[in-house]
Structure formats: structure tokens, C-alpha cells
Chain A
Amino acid sequence: MSIATQQAASPPATGTVQKRSGFLSRIVAHRTDYLYVLPALIVMLVVIAYPIYYTIELSFFRTPPNLQMRDKVWTGIDNYVRVLSSPVFHEVTIQTIIWTLASTVISFLLGLGAALSLHREFVGRGLMRALLLIPYVISAVAASYVWKWLYHSDFGVIGAISVQLGITAEPINFLDNRQTVLASLIVVNIWKEFSFAMVMLMAGLQTVPDQLLRAAQVDGANTWNRFWHVTFPHLKGVSMVTVLLLMVANFNSFIIPFVMTGGGPADASHIWITHIYQLAFGRQQWGVASAYAVILFIVMMFLGYFYVKALTRGDEARA
């Protein structure tokens, strides 16, 4: 009998792949595994990799408005210069930041409040949760029309209420006013998405161990202290993912501003996405719009890095 000279731990049943032991031979050894992913990869490749490549390519060309891309002309970084030096771009960038941050922060806080209030068991809790979630489920187009009607300058119910309550002398023109339009749209966006934060945080709350809360209670912690020292630290992971997902979604919103105002009046409710759309499909400036899209792309990459990082924490814990 021989004695163990090298200690070896038994790996999990599925096995962990050791780095650098003939990459090609391992690919060959696992060739059947790829069959499972192949359909997904092909679809993704056609509809994602190609468009990304093509966007980057177009961003260096002056393009004819008629979509005859054979006639495009190489212009180097001209398109980028045009985008970055345009005053509208700066205005729209500020609006994009306001839109994204305000929507994200307020939705998160409302969602957190709702999750905490709904955490305790009471009659009608399930119904309340379902009702609060309906705006999240319905189409943004539907939400846009409903709120457009609520905001209507002549017959809108919000304007009428504010007059009846004596807040304003006459109905406010919410959407046709550079001062109020962005805020009005943010309200719609929050209405649509705060319950997403609520559901995420409710699920997060369920992971807070009851024993810890009871221990804290016995130790003399009041409601606020229990929240701050026990509940909130447990919600950190979920909160991070939620905030990131909200930010990505808000940064990428299109329907609400596009359907409700089309970016107007005078570009006051444009954000990057609607602006790009307008440049491409409104003004047919495909090259400029592509350069714009690439810039957006780079910003998204930064957010994407944090997104993947936040998500993998869970994956590693499970694997």
C-alpha cells in the first residue's frame, strides 16, 4: 500500500475545470455541450453582434438619408465631433441625468417604503401588492396615454383638481411647458416602475432572519435601530441589483417620452435614447446617430460592469 504523498480534495460531482490544460482539447472534449447553447448563440449573434458591429462602422461614415448605404462616405471621427460639440447634446445629457437619477432614486425609496409597510402580514396585503404591481405589468404605451389624458391641458383631471383645491388659478399645462414637462414625465415613469423595486425589496426582506430581529429587540433596539442595524444591511445586495436595474431601465427608457411628448417642447423632454431615435429616423442622419449610439454604448459598458459584478455575487455563492 502506498501512502498519500499529495493531498487531493474531492471536487464536486460536476467537477471544476482547471485552467490551462489544453484549451483546444477541452473544447473538443466538451463539443456536445455546445450544441445546447448553439441555437441561443446563433440568434444572439445575428441580432446582436452584427448590429453592434454595424453601428460602430456607420459611426465613421457620412450616410445618405435614403438608406442606400453603398453611397456612404468615410469621415473619420467627424460624427463624434458633431455630436459632442452640439449644444442640444449638452442639454439632452443634463436631462438624461436628471431623468435617470430622479426616477431611480424616487422609485427606489417609494419601493422600499412600500416593501417595509407590506412586510407585516395583514388582511388584503396580497391584493394590495397585486394592485401596486399592475402599472409595472401594463404596456408603457398604455401608461403614456392614460397619463397624457390626466395631464390634458383643457380637460385633464389633475389640472381640474388643482383648480378645485385652489392650488392654481387655472389648469396647468403640464406637457407643453419647458419648466414642467420633464418632471411630469418622471412622475409617470415612477408610477410605472416603483413597484418593481417594491417586489425586489420584499423578496430581500424575506431573507432577513427573524431571530436576528428578535435578538435586536431583546437587546433594546427600537424600530429604527432594528431597521438600520439589522434589516438594511441584509438588503444591501438586493438594493444594489435593484438600483442598477432601475438605472439601466431608466437610462434606456424610450416609450414614455416618445409617446407623450416626442421630446418636446423644444427638446425639453428629450433624453439620449429619444434624441438618437429622432436623429436617425426623424432626420435620417444615420451616421451621426450611430456615433451617438456608440457613445451611449460606452457609458452602458461602465454600468454593465457593475451590473455583472452585482449579479455574479449570487452566482458564485451558489456555484
Chain B
Amino acid sequence: MAEVVLKDVMKNYGSLYAVNNVSFAVEHGEFVALVGPSGCGKTTTLNLIAGLIPMSGGDIVIGDRVVNDLDPKDRDIAMVFQNYALYPNKSVFKNLAFPLQMRKLPKAEIEAKVMAAAKVLDISHLLERRPRELSGGQQQRVALGRALVRDPAAFLMDEPLSNLDAKLRVAMRSELKRFHHNLNATVIYVTHDQLEAVTMADKMAVMHGGVLQQYDTPANVFGNPVNTFVASFVGSPAMSLIPLDVVSKGTEVALRSPEEGWELPLSPMNARKASASSNGKLVLGARHSTLKLHKSAAAGAAPGKVYTVEPTGDVTFAQIFVNGAVVNISLDPTVAIEPDEAVWIEFDQDRMHLFDGETTMALKAA
């Protein structure tokens, strides 16, 4: 049984559609990440689920109830905010106790639950402090604790790690994941950081312009992006995208650089995909790890020019201009190349992505 279901959810401000026909289902115990660039509607979607802003259309189901018209307090959810939203005039203990007090639990029970949550999060020694006396990481834990003291149907998290410094963020990321695992909790997690989504989530919902682009497991989103937006958004460094023309010579199909004139023959499988493109133009996508670098012309390789070289220690990243587009490639640190050097890039036919030049959708073999 799905724990949270969104069906055709809409939110518009006049002619401005912040959330446009979004539908997806979150199973019980699933960790779902809502990702997308800022302004894509992910936080608005979360606020709609929480009931903090009224919906313009569609249905939201939490547990076994349609909650469209319920107040946030009646939706049986907990939420962690980006800036933590700890009540500054209350001690940590009172912050944690507040949701229980609001539900009129007996005092002894409140204390027991707060203590238990504090113990889990290792903040028992901070209970008497005020939020402003805590470090960012500690505030983060308290915010989590306030969500944890209850046993809600779903946890909503709005970029909970983005205010932490990089090192702490990585540590908290694994703790959150562990916390999800231990509690078997249903979590909907908003982030603009695709790495967070990929590393933590069971499923990710990629949003752009108020529209849900793809809803799938991180592996599938990474492996089979539905369009160029998802392809370029997920993965780091980003997938390289090169706009090219499709040319057919009998049964052979190749890609041609419109500016530099070189051609790249395609495998039969890719040829069938390329033929499906709507106007003879497509976008070739390739992840950095699937590319091979040659210092001289080779079969199935496209010419390029080195732009920058960035050694990171165990792997060196290089950016190479191919047909005017920037191509990211990872190299063994022993490979010596210089900026402005002429190189050739070989593509892996089995692991390349082909997108329609007009609709930007992934091409399927006809």
C-alpha cells in the first residue's frame, strides 16, 4: 500500500504554474528525493503535501485518507525545514516537546518520548540550551528530533542539509540514511543537490519548470535519463551533450559535426535510435567515464581540443571542446595532456545516449 500519493497535483498563481500536473506514489518505508534546480517547484510540492499552501487542483493521499482539505496538523506528517525553524525562545527540550504538547499527551509520556528521541540523536546533553547556543549540526539534530518524537505517517524534509558545511553535510547524509533504515520511515526529501538524491534515495523525482520529468530509482535515472535535462542534471561531472546531425549512407548511419564536418559511425542499435529523430538532428550524450582519449586520430573517435586539465589525485578530469560543446572526460593521472593540445575522443557505443534534437527526449529504437 502506498503511503503518500500525489495525483495531478497543481498549484498556479494566475497564469504561473509552480506545480503542473505532478503525480507519483511513495510506498511505505520508501525514501523519495524531490530534486531539481531552484525554482523547479520541488519545495512548493512539498508544501502542498504538508498542507502549508492550498492546492489549485489534484488529490493528495497520506496513509489511507485524502488530505486535500486537511490542516497541516491533521495530516499526520512531520517536517524538517531548511533553516531548521527551531523555536528560538524555547529550550531544546521544549522544542522537542512542542508537537507532543499540541497533541495533549500526558506529561510523563512527553518526557519519556523526548528523552528517547534525544538519546537516539545524541543530544541529551543539550536539552536545556536555546537553539542559538547550538552549532549548525546540533540544530540540525534537534530539528530532526522534533520530527522524530512523533510517529508520523511520513517525514517531509526541505533541504535539511544545505545549511551545513561540506564535511558535516556528508556525515549527516549517512546518518539520515541510517535513520531511515532503522525507522523504516516514509521520507520525502527535497534537495537541489543531485548527489544527495542519488546517494540517499530509493527513488528520485526530477522536477523542472513545475513539471515532473522522471520518477524512478537513482540507478535508472542515472542510466536511462528520459531527456537532456535529466541527463545533464544527474551525475557529476555532468553528462556531456553534443548536438550533431544524422546522416544516412545506405544502411550505414553516422553522426556528423555540422561545424567541423567529421563523422562518427553508429552501431546498428544506435543507428536505429538515430533514425527515429524527428528532424535529422540529435544530441549525443556521454558520461565522462565512458570516454576514451586518443592522442592521434582513431576509428570511432571525434577530434577535439583540450581546454582545461584538473588533476584531483587519483583521477584527472579534462574538459575538451568537441564540435563547440564542452566534453568532460576522466583520465588516468599518468596521461599527460596540455591545454590547447589536439586530441581524439572515442565514444562507447553501448553506453552512449541519444536524444532527439528537437524534443530533447531520449530516442528509442524504432
Direct contact of A and B (CB under 8 A): yes
Q: Give A residues with C-beta under 8 Å from B.
A: 1-4, 6-11, 13, 15-21
The main secondary structure of chain A at its interface with chain B is loop
As a 0/1 sequence over residues 84 to 98 of chain B, the CB contacts with chain A under 8 angstroms (1 = contact) are: 000000000000000
Interface membership of B44, Cβ < 8 A: yes
User: Given A1-B213, A1-B214, A13-B47, are A6 and B20 neighbors across the interface (CB < 8 Å)?
Assistant: yes
Task: Tell me the nearest residue of chain B to A2, going by C-beta.
Answer: B211
Q: Shortest 5 CB-CB distances between A and B: which pairs?
A: A18-B14, A4-B209, A8-B210, A4-B211, A9-B39
Query: B53 contacts which chain A residues (CB < 8 A)?
Result: 13, 15
In the complex, chain B residues 1-41 whose Cβ is within 8 Å of any chain A Cβ? 13-18, 20-21, 38-41
Query: B211 contacts which chain A residues (CB < 8 A)?
Result: 2-4
Q: Besides the contacts A4-B213, A8-B209, what 15 more A-B pairs have beta carbons closer than 8 Å?
A: A1-B214, A1-B215, A3-B359, A4-B20, A4-B209, A4-B229, A6-B209, A9-B16, A9-B18, A10-B43, A10-B210, A13-B53, A15-B53, A17-B13, A19-B14
Q: How far is the CA of A7 from the CA of B40 in the complex (A)?
A: 9
Question: Which residue from A1, A6, A8, A10 sits with its C-beta under 8 Å from B212?
Answer: A1
Interface membership of B227, Cβ < 8 A: yes
In the complex, chain B residues 57-88 whose Cβ is within 8 Å of any chain A Cβ? none
User: Given A2-B211, A3-B360, A4-B211, are A15 and B13 neighbors across the interface (CB < 8 Å)?
Assistant: yes
Task: Tell me the nearest residue of chain B to A20, going by C-beta.
Answer: B14
Indicate if the CB atoms of A10 and B40 lie closer than 8 Å: yes
Q: How far is the CA of A7 from the CA of B17 in the complex (A)?
A: 8
Taking the closest CB of chain B, its distance from the CB of A7, in whole angstroms, is 5
As a 0/1 sequence over residues 172 to 198 of chain B, the CB contacts with chain A under 8 angstroms (1 = contact) are: 000000000000000000000000000
Q: How far is the CA of A11 from the CA of B53 in the complex (A)?
A: 12
Indicate if the CB atoms of A3 and B17 lie closer than 8 Å: no
Indicate if the CB atoms of A1 and B209 lie closer than 8 Å: no
Q: How far is the CA of A15 from the CA of B21 in the complex (A)?
A: 19
Q: How far is the CA of A11 from the CA of B17 in the complex (A)?
A: 9
Indicate if the CB atoms of A7 and B209 lie closer than 8 Å: yes
Indicate if the CB atoms of A10 and B17 lie closer than 8 Å: no
Taking the closest CB of chain A, its distance from the CB of B49, in whole angstroms, is 14
Query: A1 contacts which chain B residues (CB < 8 A)?
Result: 212-215, 226-227
What would 13 A/B residue contacts be, using CB atoms closer than 8 Å?
Answer: A1-B214, A1-B226, A1-B227, A4-B20, A8-B16, A8-B210, A9-B18, A10-B43, A10-B210, A16-B13, A18-B13, A18-B16, A19-B14
Task: Tell me the nearest residue of chain A to B41, going by C-beta.
Answer: A10
Taking the closest CB of chain B, its distance from the CB of A98, in whole angstroms, is 51
Indicate if the CB atoms of B227 and A3 lie closer than 8 Å: yes
Task: Tell me the nearest residue of chain A to B21, going by C-beta.
Answer: A2
Interface membership of B305, Cβ < 8 A: no
Indicate if the CB atoms of A10 and B14 lie closer than 8 Å: no
Task: Tell me the nearest residue of chain A to B361, going by C-beta.
Answer: A3
Query: A6 contacts which chain B residues (CB < 8 A)?
Result: 17, 20, 209-210
Q: How far is the CA of A281 from the CA of B111 in the complex (A)?
A: 68
Indicate if the CB atoms of B361 and A18 lie closer than 8 Å: no
Taking the closest CB of chain A, its distance from the CB of B69, in whole angstroms, is 14
Query: B215 contacts which chain A residues (CB < 8 A)?
Result: 1
Interface membership of B353, Cβ < 8 A: no
As a 0/1 sequence over residues 350 to 365 of chain B, the CB contacts with chain A under 8 angstroms (1 = contact) are: 0000000001110000
- Considering residues A6, A20, A21, which has the most beta carbons from chain B within 10 angstroms of its beta carbon? A6
Interface membership of B208, Cβ < 8 A: yes
Indicate if the CB atoms of A13 and B16 lie closer than 8 Å: no
Interface membership of B297, Cβ < 8 A: no
Taking the closest CB of chain A, its distance from the CB of B290, in whole angstroms, is 24
Indicate if the CB atoms of B16 and A11 lie closer than 8 Å: yes
Taking the closest CB of chain B, its distance from the CB of A32, in whole angstroms, is 12
Indicate if the CB atoms of A8 and B38 lie closer than 8 Å: no
Indicate if the CB atoms of B361 and A10 lie closer than 8 Å: no
- Considering residues B43, B208, B209, B214, which has the most beta carbons from chain A within 10 angstroms of its beta carbon? B209
Query: A13 contacts which chain B residues (CB < 8 A)?
Result: 43, 47, 52-53
Q: How far is the CA of A15 from the CA of B48 in the complex (A)?
A: 12
Task: Tell me the nearest residue of chain A to B360, going by C-beta.
Answer: A3
Indicate if the CB atoms of B13 and A10 lie closer than 8 Å: no
- Considering residues A6, A8, A18, which has the most beta carbons from chain B within 10 angstroms of its beta carbon? A8
User: Given A13-B47, A19-B14, are A8 and B214 neighbors across the interface (CB < 8 Å)?
Assistant: no
Q: How far is the CA of A3 from the CA of B52 in the complex (A)?
A: 27
Q: How far is the CA of A11 from the CA of B210 in the complex (A)?
A: 11
Query: A7 contacts which chain B residues (CB < 8 A)?
Result: 209
Q: How far is the CA of A1 from the CA of B230 in the complex (A)?
A: 12
Q: How far is the CA of A10 from the CA of B44 in the complex (A)?
A: 7
Query: B209 contacts which chain A residues (CB < 8 A)?
Result: 4, 6-8
- Considering residues A1, A6, A16, which has the most beta carbons from chain B within 10 angstroms of its beta carbon? A1
Q: How far is the CA of A7 from the CA of B229 in the complex (A)?
A: 13
As a 0/1 sequence over residues 195 to 230 of chain B, the CB contacts with chain A under 8 angstroms (1 = contact) are: 000000000000011111111000000000011010
Task: Tell me the nearest residue of chain B to A16, going by C-beta.
Answer: B13
Q: How far is the CA of A6 from the CA of B17 in the complex (A)?
A: 8
Question: Which residue from A2, A8, A17, A21 sits with its C-beta under 8 Å from B18?
Answer: A8
Q: How far is the CA of A18 from the CA of B56 in the complex (A)?
A: 14
Query: B40 contacts which chain A residues (CB < 8 A)?
Result: 10
Indicate if the CB atoms of B227 and A21 lie closer than 8 Å: no
Question: Which residue from B38, B52, B214, B227 sits with its C-beta under 8 Å from A10?
Answer: B38
Indicate if the CB atoms of A4 and B361 lie closer than 8 Å: no
Task: Tell me the nearest residue of chain B to A1, going by C-beta.
Answer: B226
Query: A20 contacts which chain B residues (CB < 8 A)?
Result: 14
Query: A2 contacts which chain B residues (CB < 8 A)?
Result: 21, 211
